[in-house]
Amino acid sequence: MTPDARFEYKYILDAFDYFRIRNKIAIHFSKDDISRRAQDGRYLVRSLYYDSYAYQAYYEKVVGENHRTKLRLRAYGDTIEGTPFVSVEHKIRRGKLIFKHSTRVSTSEYLHFMQTGHWEGDHPVLDDFKNHIHRTGVVPRVIVQYRREAYVARGPQNVRLTLDTDLKYGNAKQLFIPTARLKSDLTRKIILEIKGLQDDIDWLNRFIRDQDLGTVPNSKYADAIEHTQHPLWL
């Protein structure tokens, strides 16, 4: 099982910054194929996150643990009928590096797993996901949904930039609950993420500096917990 290792930086924007930066993106980036095909250039992302009953993943994030892990199931639709597959993902942070293990399953195999706790297929990521759940006792906690606008760098460095808007959150034990049950993020913030295999690309550093961007610790999952649930210190 070979993970996709990358650096990942996040920035929080308001509406003014969003439009300002969108106008500058074309210098170095072009929309990816999915965004070009999507209505309004944005596609839906919905993720179901797992955590322990004691909110271990949440607390590790908010206290800034350098080594932490996160399980999620991700779909690119809000109904099971309109979603051809579910992405099974295990993300691991080791300092500044993010390692992402992922694979896809059919929606019928997703349903089988949710009912039985076992996958029908055989794949290292599926085995790792299942074993982590059985070992740690984590359970589905919350849904995060948003509209994503994705860009890829024109150069050879394999840099990806995304703008996430219309964030919504909801308590859930499964992926495909009605959107009406989700709560909108009242801050109306927009999340810019830049992901790449290197963190010392000159043109990218200049782009970030010219846009006066400052990285901020931000987690959609932590935001979702704080919007929908009540960890002990909130």
Domain parsing of the chain, residue ranges = 4-228
The predicted structure's pLDDT at residue 233: 52
Amino acid at site 155: G
Tell the CATH topology of 4-228. Answer: mRNA Triphosphatase Cet1; Chain A (3.20.100)
Per-residue pLDDT of the chain (234 residues; tens, 9 = 90+): 445 678 888 899 999 889 998 888 888 899 999 999 998 999 999 999 999 999 999 999 888 788 889 999 999 999 999 899 999 999 998 887 889 999 999 999 999 999 999 999 899 999 999 999 999 999 999 999 999 999 999 877 789 999 999 999 999 999 999 999 999 998 889 999 989 888 777 888 888 888 888 777 778 999 999 888 865 555
d(CA 229, CA 145): 16
Alpha carbon distance 141, 33 (integer Å):
31
Q: What's the confidence (pLDDT) of residue 1?
A: 42
pLDDT tens for 125-139 read 999 999 999 999 999
Residue 108 makes CB contacts below 8 A (sequence gap 6+) with none
Residue-level pLDDT at 24: 87
Tell me how far apart the alpha carbons of residues 211 and 208 are, in angstroms, rounded to a whole number.
Answer: 5
Query: Residues with Cβ < 8 Å from 157, sequence gap 6 or more?
Result: 196, 197, 198, 201, 204
Where residue 177 falls (left for φ over 0; alpha for ψ -120 to 50; beta otherwise) is beta
